[in-house]
Amino acid sequence: MTPVVEKLGAGVDEWVSANQAALSATRRHLHAHPELGYAEFETTSFLEQRLRHHGLVPRRLPTGTGLTVDVGSGSGPVVVLRADIDALPLADLKDVPYASTREGLCHACGHDVHTTVVLGVAIALASMDGLPGTVRCVFQPAEETVPGGATEVVASGVLEGASRAFALHCDPSVPAGKVGLRTGAITAACDRMDVTLTGPGGHTARPQLTVDLVDALGRLITDLPGLLSRQVDPRAGMSLVWGAVNAGVAANAIPQRGRLSGTVRVLDRDAWKGAEELMRALVERVAATTGAEVDVDYIRGVPPVVNDPRSVALLRNAAMETVGSENLLLSPQSMGGEDFGWFADVMPIALARLGTHGGGAPLDLHRGTFDVDERAIGVGVRLLARTALHALEADSGPPRTGRRAPGDTSARRAEERREPDDEFHRPTG
Ligand SMILES: [Zn+2]
Ligand SMILES: [Zn+2]
């Protein structure tokens, strides 16, 4: 550990100890006021207000929700910390004082925690001098949409000039106080494919006079996964699983139309790039043997998050100092999707798993019962702040060119305003 990381890291630890209650209150406020992707207007205003109060200058993203803010010296390397701010269209089923106040909306993926963590890092670091570069905090909208708000962040150019990006995601299968890491792919790509077959239809007594559409659907269902397995490197982890099949009504009539829907999941980023072309070619090859007309609707999802080894090493250093080696786990690769993978189009990235389980029955993401042990929030702040410090030190070198950052701490301004319960303050003593 270098003296800078040691000193500033200790400062963050102190800040977290002094602000546990405010961190919980912030997370509870966000939890009670969930908003859907690209509609996070109140959340964005809330974050702007908090950041401005601490002398920071947030800039909204062009999409109208979400924002970025730079913390630090304004010179030297730039590293990105990313939080997602949107909620899900699910009913909150919890009986807690901070349950969602909005019917049919719930922070069931822990994005309220991610947002609170990155807000905490921004405010904690803003209270310190001597940051060896700039920490660019990105509060991203619409993670739960396809292809995801991350595409807008990348397109907006706010990542330009930064050397790498980090994020974390709540993991309810891991106890609070522990952190999961993984080099390489940690989430999967998931695309959707709808195949429609059409033919003339006819009597089941005379299949030779028409196209037996049900037989054709059956061939696609059984042949495609097998063909696929011979076309793709098995290590790419590409799998096609059908979830719906619909055709016909009568036992003695060959239908004119049939439809298959399924998902294509891919563990490898390069293999994912070629997935659509390959699937279309295979569907057409099989359909051609049946005589049916075929139409493929292929909907691209998000790429896998592939963790850069060097960035994972920086996370690991920070995790060792934050929770100790005994609380550091190897995360399995999830088959779930996460749009942070788009950031890898422009820079190395790494996503860590933040343990949030507090005992009791197992909880899962995307359920109305999802909740976290709030001790995880402080762990997240300390982990990401230290990771950013390690990354700034590692990436310091000749100054980078690139667009000047949105947000700038050099323009600090104090605002006179009432201090709410969830206001953060400097540690005393
Ligand atoms: Zn989610
Ligand atoms: Zn999520």
- 6-53 pLDDT, tens digit each: 999 999 999 999 999 999 999 999 999 999 999 999 999 999 999 999
Would you say residue 422 lies in a domain? no
394 C-alpha vs ligand 2 centroid, how far in Å?
28
The overall average pLDDT reported for the chain is 92
Instruction: Compute, in angstroms, the gap from residue 322 CA to the centroid of ligand 1.
Output: 26
The model's confidence at residue 292, banded by pLDDT at 50, 70 and 90, is: very high
Cβ-contact 426, 15 below 8 angstroms: yes
CA of 111 relative to ligand 2 center, distance in Å: 6
For residue 388, CA distances in Å to 144, 232, 267, 288 come to 25, 37, 27, 54
152 lies in some domain: yes
Of all ligands present, the nearest one to the C-alpha of 140 is: 2
Tell me the average pLDDT across 54-72. Answer: 97
Same-domain status, 98 and 175: yes
Per-residue pLDDT tens over the stretch 136-169 = 999 999 999 889 999 999 999 999 999 999 999 9
Q: What is the pLDDT at residue 410?
A: 38
HSE (CB half, 13 Å, CA atoms) of 103? Answer: 0
Q: Quick one: pLDDT at residue 398?
A: 57
Amino acid letter, 374: E
Give Rg (Cα) of the chain: 25
Task: Assign residue 225 the CATH number of its domain.
Answer: 3.30.70.360
User: Which residue range forms the structural domain that includes residue 217?
Assistant: 189-299
* The last residue of a domain, from among 299, 325, 359: 299
Task: Tell me the CA–centroid distance for residue 368 and ligand 1, in Å.
Answer: 12
Span 245-252, average pLDDT: 96
398 contacts: CB under 8 Å, gap ≥ 6: none
Burial of 411 (0-12, 13-18, 19+ CB in 10 A): exposed
The CA 280 to ligand 1 mean position distance, Å, reads: 28
pLDDT of residue 2: 84
Compute the distance from residue 347 Cα to the ligand 1 centre, in Å: 23
What is the model's pLDDT at position 408? Answer: 40
Cβ–Cβ under 8 Å, residues 217 and 262: no
pLDDT tens for 393-419 read 999 975 444 444 444 433 333 333 444
Please report the pLDDT score of residue 409 as a whole number: 39
| Ligand 2 center to 339 CA (angstroms) | 9
Q: Report pLDDT digits (tens) over 208-233.
A: 999 999 999 999 999 999 999 999 99
Residues 196 and 211 in one domain: yes
Tell me whether residue 420 is in a domain: no
pTM summary value? 0.85
Tell how far the Cα of 110 is from the centroid of ligand 2, in angstroms. 6
In the reported structure, the alpha carbon of residue 333 is separated from the centroid of ligand 2 by a whole-number distance in angstroms of 15
Closest ligand (CA of 145)? 1
If asked whether residues 181 and 38 sit together in one domain, one would say: yes
Please report, rounded to a whole number, the percentage of residues in the chain having pLDDT higher than 90.
86
Same domain, 167 and 197: no
The answer to whether 113 and 356 have CB atoms below 8 angstroms apart is yes
Identify which has the larger pLDDT, 70 or 397: 70
Neighbours of 231 (CB within 10 A): 12
